[in-house]
Every structure is written in C-alpha cells, then in structure tokens.
C-alpha cells in the first residue's frame, strides 16, 4: 500500500528509515526498537466500544508507558478518506507491528504494538498531527491512536481467540460444599478426583464419597479410602480420574468430629511394594546441603536422611505444589485470560513473559511455571484457579494436609515469600512423588523445551539441566533465592525403579544429587 514500510536483506529503504525515525511502526525482528508483546485478549462488542469512546474524552484514556516517546515530526501526505467508525481494519506493516499511542501524534506515549495482520476496531475520532492522520481504535483490551496509513479496511469474519470462546464454567465448585456434613450438590469446573478432594477439604468438607453423572449415562460413585475394585465403575467412567467441566456432583461429607477418611494417615500415593533393602557396604557420600533426603517411589521409604524433616525455605520447589493444584483442580485445556499479571513489573524475577491481556491454555501456563520457573505464570495460575493469591495459598496448604504431610506452610504460589514459607526435604520429595502420578505433570517436567500457542507464541526452555544430564533423569524442579540458597528435587529411574532426591540450601546441588543417586542405586536391592 502507499507509504508502507519495506525492508529486504537488511537494506533499509527510505520508507523503512521513516518508520524507524518517526516511531509509527516498530520492527519485531529488525532491531529498530524492542516492541511490547502484542498479545491482548478479550474483544468487547463494537457497539459497547463505540458507546464508551463517545462518552469518554480520548485524552482521558491513558495507559502505562512502554518506551520513551519519539519527538520528530513528519512531512507525510494524508491521502484518501478516513476509515469508517464501527468497521474493522487490518494492520499492513510488512512484518512490523503498528504502535498504539495514548494521544494522537508522535509525542504520544506508546502503549502497545499491534502485530502485522492484527485486526482492530475503528472508533470515532481522527486527528491530523505530525504529518499523519491518526485514527482512534480498539485492539483487544487496548484503545488508542494509530497512524491510519498502515491500515486497510477488513471485510473478513470477526477475529476470535480462545479466551473469547472459553467456557463460562469457572474452576472449582459452582455451589458450596456442606462443611457441616451431609450432602451437597455442586457443578465441577473440571479436574481430577484428587482435585475434588482438595477443593472440598478447603471448604471444610471431609469427603466420604462423591457421586457424578457418567459420560455414558447413569450415576457412578467414588468412596474415599476404598480399594479400586470398589470404585471400579467410577474409574472406568472417568479414565485417569479426570472429570470434565460442567459435571454435576453430589458430595457426601463427614459430620464434624468423625473419622477423617479423606485425609491420608500415610503420605499419598499409597505404597505399591515393600521398601528396597540396603545391599551394599559403601556409606552414603558426604554432602554440603543443609537438608537432603532420598525416597523410593514405589514404597515411599526413606533411603537417606540428612535433616530431612527440618522446615526451611524451598524457593521455587514450591511450584510443584502449584502445578499439582493447576492440573488436579481445573481443566488443563481451559483458556486463561491473564488480567493483572505483568512480567515487566517483576524485575530480577524468573518469568515466562506474561502481560495483561494474554490468553493461553492452562497447560501452557504449567509449562511456563515448571520449565523457565515463571513467577508470573504462578500468579496467573493462582488467580485463575482460586480468584486470588490468598485463596490459592489456602488450597496449597490444604493439599499437603490431604496427602498426609505436616512440615510445610505456604504464603505464596511461587516461593519468593516470607520466612514463614517453608517445606522440609521429606515433604518436597513426597509432593514430587505424588505429582509424578499425574501423567501431564510427568510430561511437563521431562520436556526440554515448549512453545505455548495462545494469542501469541511463547518459547521456553527447561532450566533444570540435571534431568537431561543425569542417566535416567526425568524431573522435577530447581529453585533459588538468597534465603533458600540452591534447591533441587530430582527424579531418576533405573531398571524400572524410580528414586527422588531432594536437596535444600545446597551449594553444589547437582554434584550432591548425582553422588546420592549413584550411591542409592548401587547399594539397594528391590525384591
């Protein structure tokens, strides 16, 4: 189109130079200037946007600055008629994104950058400033001014995204669990039988049983604490224990003061075989960690213990608990609209790169939580799942109680919190053991990389290099804060036997983990 920006093989044409100096567009690949991620979710109706735009003076619609404003003026020709308010337009930037400003003109603060091909809504009001005609527009959650030279009318179907088509059923229960005992009807927001347990217990309901509609028809029930053959119909109706969103459930809760069948007296999962016996003569290696433990997966037996029950800061090993709740108490395929999490407000923190308006599936956020150890992903998961950080922390503390652990206390979903945020090495190992019973969790922590595909793509790498460097390594998480030091929960499998080693405040966590696992595999025999 006339005046469009072009560049080939690194040679900047006059149009490209004009783009770079005037700041109308910014390159997503050419290095002109870093661009704010273009992902925003949610599209209001055209009529609602028009109404708001007419009622509010454009100058009052402000947003946080992204970069310093450009101040040079232009000598552009303004051709053609303005776009029609209420219609759609598409960005034609030849691979570049189009800057959105809070006021018309190059001095306006840049608040977003719409990707090439992005579709926006034309709102009333235009202004001719600095040689450009500026059009007031709306793109997802952002309203602002753009140079209409880089817009064309769009007559195709209205754009959609995952969040706009997301289920209206929220995570957790719609309806309340009967905390005083008895029966209660709720609608489940999606997740597993374990997630139902955790949610119910967090509301004061000690579950005796749960009944739900089978996808094939009929009512099936699950009795907590009973063997699998008793719950066969439930397990067949819901393979893997996954119950879809929108399923009506009848909760049967214990009366207060009665025996608690829904809280395990032995840390879950239930042992499936006897403990391995020590068969060697070599003593365990010396380590520098403040606390450490080795756990056998099948039996839950402790094979090595160094201050294993001392509660200390775990740093990002906390996120194992966060991931379990995300995968058990919600549908991993559900779309999450990121409303109030911004990685740019978290300097010095490990992040995946979320900004307000992003839209990703919950499973992508779990990858972002576990691979790059995204603290922004932890907050997004918590607020989606429970509505607030505090409510999610309550679920975290409930989960460790439910699976039979007593040396953990959480104050946040990511592990950066106060001195009251603690776990023991034993608790970390047993939470890791429990988490690895979840197929998606195993898949996540074993991945070396992942690309999240939502309203934009986010690529991430697994910072836990031990899992790929140690023979048989297959999980789970690293952590670090100044207070906690270097922490690690690692799993490894040899000859069908999986062990977990946890090290807290370990200056040489990988070296200690390697030495301990080598010793444990070499000096124990499984019957």
Q: Is the pLDDT of residue 264 over 80?
A: no
Q: Is the pLDDT of residue 128 over 50?
A: yes
Which of 48-62, 201-215, 219-233 has the weakest average pLDDT?
48-62
Confidence band (pLDDT; 50, 70, 90) for 141? low
Tell me how far apart the alpha carbons of residues 52 and 326 are, in angstroms, rounded to a whole number. Answer: 36
- Catalytic one of 27, 334, 373, 491: 373
Q: Tokens 């090439």 map to which residue?
A: 116
Tell me how far apart the alpha carbons of residues 254 and 152 are, in angstroms, rounded to a whole number. Answer: 64
- What are the percentages of helix, strand and coil residues in the chain, rounded to 5? 25, 25, 50
According to the model, what pLDDT value does residue 375 have? 98
Q: Tokens 């661009």 map to which residue?
A: 35
- Catalytic one of 27, 202, 316, 489: 316
Please state, in angstroms and as integers, the Cα–Cα distance from residue 170 to each residue in 21, 174, 269, following that order.
47, 7, 28
Please state, in angstroms and as integers, the Cα–Cα distance from residue 179 to each residue in 23, 42, 150, 204, following that order.
59, 36, 59, 5
Mean pLDDT of the chain: 84
Confidence band (pLDDT; 50, 70, 90) for 168? low
Tell me how far apart the alpha carbons of residues 121 and 102 are, in angstroms, rounded to a whole number. Answer: 16
Tell me how far apart the alpha carbons of residues 414 and 228 are, in angstroms, rounded to a whole number. Answer: 34
Active site residue 316: yes
How many residues would you count in the chain? 527
Mean pLDDT of 129-147: 87
Three-state SS string over 139-193 comes to: ECCEEEEEEHHHEEEECCCCCCCCCCCCCCCCCCEECCCCCCCEEEEEEECCEEH
Please state, in angstroms and as integers, the Cα–Cα distance from residue 503 to each residue in 255, 287, 400, 429, 473, following that order.
40, 9, 19, 9, 15
**CA nearest to 446, candidates 426, 425, 466:** 466
The neighbouring-strand residues paired with 152 are 90
Q: Tokens 């793509």 map to which residue?
A: 457
Q: Tokens 């003061």 map to which residue?
A: 257
Please state, in angstroms and as integers, the Cα–Cα distance from residue 78 to each residue in 2, 74, 103, 130, 228, following that order.
11, 11, 18, 11, 74
According to the model, what pLDDT value does residue 162 have? 67
Tell me how far apart the alpha carbons of residues 421 and 411 are, in angstroms, rounded to a whole number. Answer: 5
299: DSSP letter: T
Confidence band (pLDDT; 50, 70, 90) for 29? very low
For 385-420, the pLDDT digits (tens) are 999 999 999 999 999 999 999 999 999 999 998 889
Tell me how far apart the alpha carbons of residues 328 and 331 are, in angstroms, rounded to a whole number. Answer: 8
Q: Are 15 and 4 in contact (CB under 8 A)?
A: yes
Active site residue 167: no
Q: Is the pLDDT of residue 2 over 50?
A: no
Q: Which helix (H) or strand (E) holds 294?
A: strand 291-296
Mean pLDDT of 66-87: 61
Q: Structural domains in the chain? A: 7-154 (2.30.30.40), 173-253 (no CATH), 278-525 (3.40.710.10)
Mean pLDDT of 343-352: 94
Q: Are 231 and 266 in contact (CB under 8 A)?
A: no
Q: Is the pLDDT of residue 329 over 70?
A: yes
The DSSP code sequence of 215-244 is TTSSEEEEETTS-TTTTHHHHHHSGGGEE-
- Catalytic one of 319, 408, 432, 477: 319
**Encoding tokens for residue 395?**
């679920």
């Amino acid at each position: 189109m006339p005046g469009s920006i072009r560049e080939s093989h690194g040679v900047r044409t006059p149009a490209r130079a004009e783009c770079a100096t005037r700041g109308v567009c910014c390159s997503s690949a050419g290095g002109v200037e870093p661009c704010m991620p273009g992902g925003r979710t949610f599209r209001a109706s055209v009529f609602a946007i028009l109404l708001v735009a007419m009622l509010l003076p454009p100058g009052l619609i402000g947003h946080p600055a992204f970069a310093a404003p450009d101040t040079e003026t232009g000598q552009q020709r303004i051709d053609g008629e303005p776009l029609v308010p209420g219609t759609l337009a598409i960005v034609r930037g030849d691979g570049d994104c189009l800057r959105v400003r809070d006021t018309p003109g190059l001095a306006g603060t840049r608040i977003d950058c719409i990707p090439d091909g992005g579709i926006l809504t034309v709102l009333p009001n235009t202004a001719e400033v600095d040689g450009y005609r500026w059009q007031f527009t709306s793109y997802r959650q952002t309203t602002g001014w753009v140079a209409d030279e880089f817009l064309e009318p769009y007559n195709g179907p209205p754009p959609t995204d995952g969040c706009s088509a997301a289920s209206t059923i929220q995570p957790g229960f719609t309806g309340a669990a009967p905390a005083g005992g008895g029966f209660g009807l709720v609608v489940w927001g999606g997740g597993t039988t374990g997630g139902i347990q955790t949610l119910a217990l967090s509301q004061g309901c000690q579950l005796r049983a749960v009944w739900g509609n089978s996808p094939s028809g009929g009512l099936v029930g699950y009795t907590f604490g009973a063997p699998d053959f008793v719950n066969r119909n439930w397990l067949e109706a819901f393979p893997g224990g996954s119950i879809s969103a929108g399923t009506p459930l009848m909760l049967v809760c214990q009366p207060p003061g009665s025996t608690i069948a829904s809280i395990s007296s032995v840390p879950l999962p239930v042992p499936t075989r006897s403990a391995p016996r020590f068969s060697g003569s070599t003593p365990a290696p010396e380590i520098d960690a403040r606390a450490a433990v080795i756990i056998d997966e099948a039996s839950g037996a402790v094979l090595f213990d160094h201050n294993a029950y001392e509660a200390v800061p775990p740093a990002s090993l906390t996120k194992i608990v966060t991931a379990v709740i995300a995968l058990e108490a919600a549908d991993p395929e559900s779309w999450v609209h990121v409303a109030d999490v911004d990685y740019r407000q978290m300097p010095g923190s490990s992040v995946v790169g979320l900004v307000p308006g992003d839209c990703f599936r919950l499973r992508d956020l779990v990858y972002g939580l576990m691979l790059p150890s995204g603290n922004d992903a932890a907050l997004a998961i918590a607020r989606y799942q429970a509505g607030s950080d505090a409510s999610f922390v309550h679920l975290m503390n409930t989960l460790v109680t439910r699976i039979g652990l007593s040396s953990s206390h959480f104050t946040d979903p990511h592990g950066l919190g106060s001195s009251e945020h603690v776990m023991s090495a034993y608790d970390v190992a047993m939470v890791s053991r429990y988490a690895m019973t979840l197929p998606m969790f195993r898949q996540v922590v074993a991945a070396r990389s992942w690309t999240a595909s939502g309203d934009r793509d986010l690529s991430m790498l697994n910072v836990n290099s031990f899992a790929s460097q140690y023979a048989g390594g297959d999980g789970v998480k690293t952590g670090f804060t100044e207070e906690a030091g270097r922490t690690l929960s690692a799993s490894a499998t040899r000859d069908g036997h999986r062990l977990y080693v946890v090290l807290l405040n370990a200056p040489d966590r990988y070296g200690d983990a390697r030495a301990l696992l080598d010793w444990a595999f070499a000096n124990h025999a499984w019957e």
